[in-house]
Amino acid sequence: MAELVFFSGTMDCGKSTLALQMDHNHRARGRGGVRFSCNDRAGDSTISSRLGLQTDAVEVEDHTDFWDEVVVRRTSGLRVDYLICDEAQFYSPLQVEQLARVVDEMDVDVFAFGITSDFRTRLFPGSQRLIELADRVQVLQVEALCWCGRRATQNARTLNGIMVVEGEQVMVGDVAPTDDAPFAGVVGYETLCRRHYMRRVTAHGANLMAGADQPLPFDIDACLWPGAGELHRQ
């Protein structure tokens, strides 16, 4: 019986690596699949992992209909047993519903990979719909770490190195100034523990404070995980 599975986690927890590994495993067993991605860091029509693996994928656009994507391939004689859906947080709720229908009515396994919440700690609409509809939600066990060594559960956005909590939900490139948004700059992302997210202390900010001979606004050592800096945990 086919399944809709949502593999979730923060950035840097190895989702794309797992997506590529799963594709490989199913292909090696003679199954046919289609890889999809959306706004991958390496560019359109690509799934890339931080470990350096990269392969081609079908780019998911606003008008993409997953039901049609499967029907078109099967009609032309291609085998479609499963879909790999990377960066699924960027899919629309409607597209997630199409994925569920593909599972139920065409017996196609759907393995979706995505981060759950945005830089404001709010669920992405696509991830929310996946959590609502998936047969299984699997939280990835490779944990991203905050600079302090704790488990990172939040995705922070930085603009020119400064953490921001307002802006468009989806922003994958650097921004140019417009009349509506006068702030231009280099957009970055960093995983933080909830404590440092709430205090808005990124690695850059922590370094600045550690290098300053001024009293800190809070006791930074008290925030440290035992053994922080060794980058491993019990």
Q: Note the residues at the interface with Zn ion (CB under 5 A).
A: 146, 148, 150, 193, 196
Rounded least distance, CB 165 to Zn ion, Å: 16
Rounded least distance, CB 185 to Zn ion, Å: 24
* Residue 39 backbone dihedrals phi, psi, to 5 degrees: 55, 40
Q: Is 69 a catalytic residue?
A: no
Rounded least distance, CB 212 to Zn ion, Å: 19
Q: With respect to Zn ion, which residue has the nearer C-beta, 157 or 196?
A: 196
Contact 151, 193 (CB under 8 A): yes
Q: With respect to Zn ion, which residue has the nearer C-beta, 73 or 120?
A: 120
- Cα 145 to Cα 50: distance, rounded to the nearest angstrom: 15
- Closest-CA residue to 10 (of 97, 91, 121, 125): 121
Q: With respect to Zn ion, which residue has the nearer C-beta, 106 or 203?
A: 203
Mapped onto helix, strand or coil, the DSSP state of residue 215 is: coil
Rounded least distance, CB 216 to Zn ion, Å: 14
| Active-site hit among 59, 69, 87, 132 | 87
Spatial CB neighbours of 216, under 8 Å, sequence gap ≥ 6: 209
Q: Read off the tokens for 48.
A: 């890339």
Amino acid identity for residue 193 in this structure:
C
Q: Read off the tokens for 208.
A: 């600045």
Q: With respect to Zn ion, which residue has the nearer C-beta, 106 or 209?
A: 209
- Closest-CA residue to 32 (of 87, 83, 96): 83
Rounded least distance, CB 124 to Zn ion, Å: 23
- Closest-CA residue to 92 (of 48, 119, 130, 146): 130
Residue in this structure with the two tokens 């597209």, named with its chain if needed = 95
Q: With respect to Zn ion, which residue has the nearer C-beta, 17 or 155?
A: 155
- Cα 184 to Cα 157: distance, rounded to the nearest angstrom: 14
Q: Where are the alpha helices (DSSP H) in the chain?
A: 15-28, 66-75, 93-106, 125-133, 194-198, 203-211
Active-site residues, by number, are 87
